[in-house]
Amino acid sequence: MTLALTDVSKEYGQKLALDGVNLTVSPREFLCVVGASGSGKSTLLSLVAGLMMPTTGEITVDGHPITGPGPDRGLVFQNGSLYPWRTVERNVAFGLELLALDTAERDRRVDWYLAETGLAGVRRSLPRRLSGGQQQRVAIARALVCEPDVLLLDEPFGALDVQTKEDMQLLIRQIWLDTGTTVLMVTHDVEEAVFLGTRVVVLASDPGRVAAEVRVPLAEDRDLAVKRTPAFLALRASVEDMVRCGVTR
């Protein structure tokens, strides 16, 4: 699966939110897009998800233009997108309930993703009983169970406290390694982007556009300790500078 954005622009009325974005996401990649608030990160993901159409330009998956939203591009928001009346397991099962799938097959898949995301113990709880981190895990499991070509994450850990956020970073890396899924994640947190990404793209603001692109030369097998190594800190500092330059211009 290759996701390609070609000269993508998006205008909201007069406001130019994205200006000529070119971006390619390769199979099995973990691509992080960083940018300040208002740089068009959510707009970018909504376009890829197919929730809106670009004003100009084209977005393709394996050469086929995107025409609308679908389970091949699973989306996870920052918070508040769980079905509050459905239990954890029924939230995760939502996408599968829409398919002609017998119950045993559905349950087997739901069970696997509940286990993978560490939610087996709360499977019959309602979302409001869960912590913020658990809620995000449900949202991730719910997208992954549909076996998307690419998982789209819009600041998924932005509302979490620092400790929970780091737990979730480890979890999403583990899931990425286990499932071999492609991930496109946007965040304003440079440390998070550098820690998680195989590649980091910096978005400049007003209008949103690609300002820089950095390959992350860290080992695939990372733990939190890597965040204290000189190589990590240097990379993080240089990306932070790029983000700041992109803002003040």
Partner 1 sequence: MRTALADRTPDVRTTWPPLPRRTRPRRTALTIRTPISRRATTILTVLSLAVPFSAWVVLSASGAVPATFLPPPGAVVSAGWETARSGELAVDVWTTTRRVLQGFGLAVLVSVPLGILMGAFQAGQAAFEPLIGLLRYLPASAFIPLLIIWLGLGEPSKIAILFIGTVFFNTLMTADVVRGVPRPLIDVSYTLGARRGEVLRKVVVPHSLPGIIDAVRVNAAAAWNFVVVAELVNSTAGLGYRIVRAQRFLQTDKIFAVLVVIGVIGVTIDVALRLVRARVGRWAA
Ligand X SMILES: Nc1ncnc2c1ncn2[C@@H]1O[C@H](COP(=O)(O)OP(=O)(O)O)[C@@H](O)[C@H]1O
Residues at the interface with Mg ion (CB under 5 A): 42
What contacts 24+ positions apart, CB below 8 Å, involve 20-29?
Answer: 20/57, 20/209, 21/57, 21/208, 21/209, 21/210, 22/210, 23/201, 23/210, 25/150, 25/182, 25/184, 26/2, 26/182, 27/1, 27/2, 27/182, 28/180, 28/181, 28/182, 29/182, 29/183, 29/198, 29/199
Minimum distance of partner 1 from residue 60's CB (angstroms):
18
174 binds, among partner 1, Mg ion, ligand X, none (CB under 5 to 8 A by kind): none
3 state SS of 241: helix
Rule CB under 6 A: say whether 42 interacts with ligand X: yes
Residue choice 13, 63, 68, 217 for contact with partner 1 (CB under 8 A) = 68
Residue choice 128, 178, 220, 230 for contact with partner 1 (CB under 8 A) = 128
Q: Which residues pair with 201 in a beta bridge?
A: 33, 213
Rule CB under 8 A: say whether 163 interacts with partner 1: no
Rule CB under 8 A: say whether 85 interacts with partner 1: yes
Residues that bind ligand X in the complex, under the rule CB under 6 A = 12, 15, 17, 35, 37-43
Interacting residues with partner 1 (CB under 8 A): 46, 49-51, 68-71, 73-75, 77, 80-81, 83-85, 94-95, 97-99, 126, 128, 139, 142-143, 146, 152, 241, 244-245, 248
